[in-house]
A and B are shown apart, each in its own frame.
Chain A
Amino acid sequence: MNVFRLAGDLSHLLAIIILLLKIWKTRSCAGISGRSQILFALVYTTRYLDLFTNFISLYNSVMKVFFISTSCATIYLMYVKFKATYDHNHDTFRIGFLLIPVTILGLLINHDFTPLEVLWTFSIYLESVAILPQLFMVSKTGDAETITSHYLFCLGLYRALYIFNWIYRYYFEGFYDLIAIVAGVVQTVLYCDFFYLYVTRVIKGKALKLPA
């Protein structure tokens, strides 16, 4: 464990807490893409299947349980409890266009052609594009609530910090995992225009408005 990975995990944790608070406090999931949340739930359930078979540390297990449970809770809140506030009209990104290529890629490029490994690889590739429906929805609605932009910022920051973690591990532990690194870079790059808008607008107290 190093400071970059810990900061990344905490940023990820914070993002999920912000999202749950936003939905719970405002009793609304307006502006949130349910499709992205479905993809995230898929990411965590396919990646953390080794939760019961491969104990790494208490921290690791607790975080896995947290991510799986909160992603499912978010879907419950969006599609059941606050279903009336879910914005169907703007959450229209075809997730089949993501799942099919990611599945094919997971079957073709992986470390080991075993079920657990292919599912882990699928999860890594899927996570890198899972935010697209959300970013697409923000671009369609033209703006996002400030709390939603904080959620997106923390979520994007988490994998950006993981990149520093991988650089650190490469130089100090002689460790690298190209699949995780390439997917992590793609994932972070997808946030770049959002990061720019967040820093130039939200930080200055303005609302996140996308150029029409």
Chain B
Amino acid sequence: LVEQKSKDEL
């Protein structure tokens, strides 16, 4: 699991 950034979310 890689902690990613929810940049595709509003």
Chain A residues with CB under 8 Å of chain B are 5, 9, 12, 50, 54, 56-57, 60, 63-64, 67, 111, 117, 120, 162, 165-166, 170, 174-178, 180
Report yes or no: B1 in contact with A176, Cβ–Cβ below 8 A: yes
Cβ-closest chain B residue relative to A177? B6
Report the tally of A-B residue pairs with Cβ distances under 8 A: 37
B1-10 vs A, CB cutoff 8 Å, 1 = contact: the mask equals 1111111111
* Chain B interface, DSSP helix/strand/loop, else mixed: loop
User: Which residues of chain B come closer than 8 Å to A56, judged between CB atoms?
Assistant: 7-8
Contacting B5 at CB < 8 Å: which of A5, A64, A67, A111?
A111
* Chain A interface, DSSP helix/strand/loop, else mixed: helix
User: Which residues of chain A come closer than 8 Å to B4, judged between CB atoms?
Assistant: 175-177
Report yes or no: A177 in contact with B3, Cβ–Cβ below 8 A: yes
Report yes or no: A162 in contact with B7, Cβ–Cβ below 8 A: no
Task: Give the CA-CA distance A165 to B6 in the complex, in Å.
Answer: 11
Report yes or no: A60 in contact with B8, Cβ–Cβ below 8 A: yes
User: Which residues of chain A come closer than 8 Å to B10, judged between CB atoms?
Assistant: 9, 12, 60, 63-64, 67
Contacting A54 at CB < 8 Å: which of B1, B3, B6, B7?
B7
